């Protein structure tokens, strides 16, 4: 696996963020801080670039209470301006309203992906609200490993303006986190999208980040791992491709 010089990675990403935000005519950045490593790295990079114009939004939604604590730990350590907006009640009301069988509120927090994906989409709405009123861009936290296999919610955590970690695999994000001084508690957490209690990325993916990252960077993997990754990438390709539209010449 490639050995990156993280001083250079940091410098390059800060320049990239500066150029992209300036080109858009925006003032700064808004980031959803989840308590995980990807959002921690993204938030700290933005804080280094937009010192007075970085806003972190912590958005619990039937979430593990430790995630909120870790998000606040990160924001306070790096003096990142932040707000906490709990979306749990909104999620419950929305989910109950949508369920055709009028499922009871107490029973909706389960592994139903149609419901679980509402959470990141509600977060996206909140982030774009704060981006709009501050003239900021929404900075995404998806890394290359997640983008490769489409492990994100379309129009949820995938609904962003910029994705600075999009060409760093998960293990490289971990290396950058150590370089930036992210708290060890956050670095060592099991990666999770926080969709339900006990949910972890690797269990859902069916492959470890170590194997996934190695395959992305080298093209090498066992037959089983390769098939799993390729299947996920093919299935979720629609998430990263432009919305299909018919060719004009087929209509005339």
pLDDT tens figures, 188-218? 988 776 666 767 888 888 999 999 999 999 9
Q: Do residues 127 and 57 make contact, with C-beta atoms less than 8 angstroms apart?
A: yes
In the chain, where does DSSP find H-type helix? 6-23, 37-49, 65-77, 88-98, 113-116, 118-134, 144-149, 170-180, 184-187, 201-205, 209-218, 223-235
Q: In this model, does residue 103 exceed pLDDT 60?
A: no
**pLDDT at site 196:** 65
Look at residues 61, 5, 4 and name the one whose alpha carbon lies nearest to residue 34.
61
**pLDDT at site 180:** 98
Q: Do residues 91 and 61 make contact, with C-beta atoms less than 8 angstroms apart?
A: yes
**pLDDT at site 45:** 98
Strand partners, 137: 29
pLDDT tens figures, 115-170? 889 999 999 999 999 999 999 999 999 999 999 999 999 999 999 999 999 999 99
From 25-29, 104-108, 200-204, the region with the lowest mean pLDDT: 104-108
**pLDDT at site 118:** 94
pLDDT tens figures, 41-87? 999 999 999 999 999 999 999 888 999 999 999 999 999 999 999 99
CA dihedral sign, ordered 113, 116, 122, 127: negative
Please confirm, yes or no, whether 38 is among the known catalytic residues.
yes
pLDDT category of residue 107 using cuts at 50, 70 and 90: low
Strand partners, 82: 56
**4 three-class SS:** coil
Provide the whole-model pTM.
0.92
**pLDDT at site 2:** 59
CATH classification for the domain delimited by 6-200, as one of 1.10.10.10, 3.40.50.1100, 3.40.50.620, 3.40.50.10800: 3.40.50.620
Q: Spot the catalytic one: 38, 67, 161, 201.
A: 38
CA distance 17 to 14: 5
pLDDT tens figures, 44-56? 999 999 999 999 9
Q: Do residues 185 and 235 make contact, with C-beta atoms less than 8 angstroms apart?
A: no
Q: In this model, does residue 113 exceed pLDDT 90?
A: no
Q: In this model, does residue 109 exceed pLDDT 60?
A: no
Q: In this model, does residue 110 exceed pLDDT 90?
A: no
**pLDDT at site 73:** 98
Q: Which residues contact 13 (CB under 8 A, 6 or more apart)?
A: 45, 164
**pLDDT at site 106:** 45
Q: In this model, does residue 104 exceed pLDDT 80?
A: no
Half-sphere exposure of 240 (CA within 13 A, CB side): 19
Q: Spot the catalytic one: 142, 146, 157, 201.
A: 146
**pLDDT at site 112:** 83
Please confirm, yes or no, whether 146 is among the known catalytic residues.
yes
Q: In this model, does residue 105 exceed pLDDT 70?
A: no
Q: Do residues 240 and 230 make contact, with C-beta atoms less than 8 angstroms apart?
A: no
């Amino acid at each position: 696996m490639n050995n990156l010089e993280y001083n250079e990675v940091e410098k390059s990403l800060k320049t990239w963020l500066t150029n992209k935000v300036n080109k858009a005519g925006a003032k700064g950045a808004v980031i959803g801080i989840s308590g995980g490593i990807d959002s921690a790295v993204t938030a700290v990079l933005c804080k280094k670039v937009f010192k007075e114009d970085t806003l972190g939004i912590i958005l619990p939604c039937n979430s593990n209470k430790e995630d909120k604590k870790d998000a606040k730990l990160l924001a306070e350590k790096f003096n990142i301006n932040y707000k906490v907006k709990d979306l749990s009640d909104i999620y419950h009301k929305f989910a109950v309203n949508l369920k055709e069988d009028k499922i009871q509120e107490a029973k909706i927090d389960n592994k139903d992906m149609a419901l679980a994906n509402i959470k990141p989409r509600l977060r996206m709405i909140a982030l774009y609200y704060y981006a709009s009123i501050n003239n900021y861009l929404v900075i995404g936290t998806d890394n290359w490993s997640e983008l490769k296999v489409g492990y994100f919610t379309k129009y949820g955590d995938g609904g962003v303006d910029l994705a600075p970690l999009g060409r760093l695999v998960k293990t490289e994000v971990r290396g950058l986190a150590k370089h930036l001084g992210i708290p060890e508690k956050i670095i060592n957490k099991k990666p999770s999208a926080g969709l339900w209690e006990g949910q972890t990325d690797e269990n859902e993916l069916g492959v470890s980040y170590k194997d996934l990252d190695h395959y992305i960077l080298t093209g090498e993997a066992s037959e089983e791992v390769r098939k799993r990754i390729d299947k996920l990438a093919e299935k979720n390709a629609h998430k990263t491709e432009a919305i299909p539209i018919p060719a004009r010449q087929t209509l005339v």
